[in-house]
């Protein structure tokens, strides 16, 4: 049973990658975001803003199965497995403005081992993709050598932006691609009715 479910999930990962390439969706855009604020300066209020835009995520064709899950039976029989993107690259620009400085800076972010939980119900058409975590994330902001404080602010803002937007993009992308696939249900994975799939292997 575990062997069949592992093969099924591996086939899903390959099929998703192939469909992603076929549909030219290995790179996707992310919606922009803007934050504005006012702080109290001597004798007046000072305004500031950050805009992150022109953001693209590359590497959506690097999905693979990490083989860390398997079949289980709760209210219904399911396969739960961790899928991972080997590496994603995010490019974009960030505009920072306050009373002291203003500048537009391009940034590049490298993200490795991005984990997404994949769960499929074998008894009815129900599938779920849920972002979990990444192993490492490194942000490089260009032309900020002389503006270290601005760099720290932008780095923190971009990190938070990706933590909010990337899970939405990945879950939506995987769900949409999966719906386009014609995938046979792995009948050999279905357990006998008296099987406790959380404790037994067949």
Closest CA to 79 of 202, 199, 197: 197
**What percent of the chain is helix, strand and coil (3-state, nearest 5)?**
30, 45, 25
Cα separation, 61 vs 66, whole angstroms? 15
196 part of a folded domain:
no
With tokens 């404790």, the residue in question is 199
Q: What is the pLDDT of residues 4-35, one digit of tens each?
A: 667 778 888 999 999 999 999 999 999 999 99
Q: Is the pLDDT of residue 201 over 60?
A: no
Region 74-99: mean pLDDT is 83
So what's the pLDDT on residue 65?
86
So what's the pLDDT on residue 177?
93
The total domain count for the chain is 1
88 part of a folded domain:
yes
CB 80 within 8 A of CB 110: no
CATH at residue 130 = 3.15.10.50
CB 198 within 8 A of CB 187: no
Closest CA to 174 of 82, 92, 69, 112: 82
DSSP state of 67: -
Question: pLDDT over 70 for what percent of the chain?
Answer: 74
Closest CA to 127 of 66, 176, 192: 176
DSSP state of 161: H
Mean pLDDT over the full length of the chain = 80
SS3 22: helix
194 part of a folded domain:
no
Cα 69 to Cα 13, 66, 86: the distances in Å are: 14, 8, 18
End-to-end Cα separation, the chain, in angstroms: 5
190 part of a folded domain:
no
51 part of a folded domain:
yes
Cα separation, 155 vs 140, whole angstroms? 8
| Interior angle at CA 141, CA 138 and CA 144, nearest 5 | 135
Place 140 in a pLDDT band, splitting at 50, 70 and 90. Answer: very high
The whole-model pTM stands at 0.79
Q: What is the pLDDT of residues 163-188, one digit of tens each?
A: 999 999 999 999 999 988 855 444 44
74 part of a folded domain:
yes
So what's the pLDDT on residue 148?
66
Note down the domain range covering 39.
2-184
């Amino acid at each position: 049973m575990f062997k069949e479910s592992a093969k099924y999930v591996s086939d899903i990962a390959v099929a998703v990658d192939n469909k992603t390439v076929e549909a030219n969706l290995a790179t996707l855009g992310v919606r922009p975001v803007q934050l504005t604020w006012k702080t109290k300066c001597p004798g007046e209020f000072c305004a500031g803003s950050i805009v992150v835009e022109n953001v693209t995520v590359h590497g959506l064709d690097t999905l693979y199965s990490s083989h860390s899950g398997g079949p289980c039976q709760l209210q219904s029989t399911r396969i739960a497995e961790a899928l991972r993107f080997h590496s994603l690259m995010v490019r974009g620009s960030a505009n920072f403005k306050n009373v002291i400085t203003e500048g537009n800076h391009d940034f590049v972010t490298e993200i490795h081992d991005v984990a997404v939980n994949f769960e499929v119900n074998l008894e009815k058409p129900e599938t779920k993709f849920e972002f979990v975590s990444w192993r490492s994330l490194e942000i490089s902001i260009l032309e900020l050598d002389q503006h270290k404080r601005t760099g720290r602010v932008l780095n923190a803002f971009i990190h938070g932006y990706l933590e909010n937007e990337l899970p939405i993009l990945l879950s939506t992308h995987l769900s949409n691609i999966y719906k386009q696939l014609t995938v046979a249900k792995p009948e050999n994975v279905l357990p006998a009715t008296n099987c406790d799939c959380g404790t037994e292997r067949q």
